[in-house]
Amino acid sequence: MPVPSERTRMPAAVYVLGLSVFALGTSEFMLSGILQPLAHDLGVSIPQAGLLVSAFAIGMVVGAPVLAAATLRLPRRTTLIALLAVFALGQVAGALAPTYGVLFVSRVVSALACAGFWAVGAAVAVSLVPVTARAKAMAIMVGGLSIANIAGVPAGALLGQHAGWRSAFWAVAVLAVIGLVGVVFVVPRTEVPTGAERPQLRRELAIYKDKQVWLALSATALNAAAVFSLFSYLSPLLTKTAGLAESWVPTVLALFGIGALIGTYIGGRVADAHLFPTLFAGISASTLVLAVLALTAHSPVFAIGLSLMLGVTAFTTAPALNARMFNVANAAPTLAGATTTAAFNIGNTLGPWLGGLAISAKWGYESTAWLGAALAAVAVALTFVAFRLHRAPHRSRVVAVSAPSEEPGTEPIAEPGVALAKEGAATAS
């Protein structure tokens, strides 16, 4: 049997980070499966309960850049341990929350810790592999989210139905502690660079001068909003629109998660060498799936099948979106991870909020799918603009591919972000 090449072998620490993300992802997404019992117990409407998804996302948006900047000169392993500990305590607070307001605050606090972990953890994962394996490393971290959807979210729904929604929060707290132990024993210690290599916030902030960073951020946010405008309200759509029994909800959530795992595998395999084709194909497919689901939402068969397909299409693009942000912001790896996290969660905030507005306007739960299709279509358009800029003769100073060009006669592209790094160093000196 041939020995795997060094290019494809992943360090154990990357898998530990993926395991930790499983706990984070379960907490972030599990509300879609316990929304109805939670709303009933706390005496709030379904759209109000859906805002808890947005609360988590808002905490991620704010926490990612703030915590990335605040911990820029701290050892990354120590930072990961501290953030996982805070996250676990946030889950305990949510399980004990006596009112909707307390639960809302606990979600924001948990999200702040989750955001910081994502930003720093992504930077650690990328630093442990060569540039040609970035999408694969990020696929393992995103795979933690996929498995959360396959196992964690349906399990949370089952716990919510049989042991009360609070039991789901207790379960996530336990998962977070397991992830914390893994980080302590497996993730390597890192010393803070000194001298010329010392991280400087001013230098890292230079990445935001480039339009490609903003295009990548916007496309990522819109893609996430497209998915979460529907996914946040998938449970009531399945029961109230498609007519499925509530017992079907965990099964359909698991199917979405299986689709997500398939999509993550596909994206991780192809995105390093074919970044823009992966983005175009994945986001366009999500647009089509959401539009068809909007038209067929009253059919149980179509609702179930298209939920699976949406998981595939949405998560095929995730490794590519992550890798692209690290490429266009390579001079600032910590803020690149924070920007990606913020971008995804801007979408996670926007999607449930817009979906709640559509439901409150009495347009029906299927309107969330129409909304998602429109948002995804705009993301496709922005990706096309980024591609045209990348191909232009006087293109941006960033690189939008993560593997060297394979076209005959072409020279390898320079390491992304080198120009920005040099400019930032000169500015800071």
- Inside any domain, residue 91: yes
Residue with the two structure tokens 């605050």: 105
Residue 146: what pLDDT? Answer: 66
Share of the chain above pLDDT 90, in %: 8
Comparison of pLDDT for 221 and 137, the residue scoring more: 221
Mean pLDDT is highest, among 31-45, 69-83, 347-361, 403-417, for 347-361
**CA 358 from chain center: how many Å?**
24
- Inside any domain, residue 6: no
Give 330's pLDDT tier (boundaries 50, 70, 90).
low
- Inside any domain, residue 143: yes
Helices (H) and strands (E) in the chain, counts: 17, 0
Express each pLDDT in 281-317 by its tens digit. Answer: 889 999 999 999 999 988 889 988 898 899 899 888 8
Express each pLDDT in 232-254 by its tens digit. Answer: 788 888 888 888 887 788 788 77
CA distance 61 to 63: 6
Residue 311: what pLDDT? Answer: 87
The residue count for the chain: 429
Instruction: For residue 88, give the 3-state DSSP assignment.
Output: helix
- Inside any domain, residue 100: yes
Residue 393: what pLDDT? Answer: 58
- Inside any domain, residue 410: no
Question: How is residue 89 written in tokens?
Answer: 């305590």
CA distance 268 to 2: 22
Angle subtended at Cα 144 by Cα 139 and Cα 148, rounded to the nearest 5 degrees:
140
- Inside any domain, residue 411: no
In this structure, what CATH number is given to the domain that contains residue 39?
1.20.1250.20
Domain that holds residue 85: 12-189+198-403+416-428
Give 373's pLDDT tier (boundaries 50, 70, 90).
very high
Q: Are 91 and 172 in contact (CB under 8 A)?
A: yes
H or E element in which residue 317 lies: helix 300-328
Residue with the two structure tokens 């290599």: 197
H or E element in which residue 395 lies: none
CA distance 260 to 256: 6
- Give how many domains the chain has, as a whole number: 1
Instruction: For residue 416, give the 3-state DSSP assignment.
Output: coil
- Inside any domain, residue 260: yes
Q: Are 398 and 414 in contact (CB under 8 A)?
A: no
- Residue 197 makes CB contacts below 8 A (sequence gap 6+) with none
349-364 mean pLDDT: 85
Number of other CB atoms surrounding residue 136 within 10 Å: 23
H or E element in which residue 130 lies: none
Q: Are 192 and 75 in contact (CB under 8 A)?
A: yes
CA distance 271 to 139: 10
- Inside any domain, residue 3: no
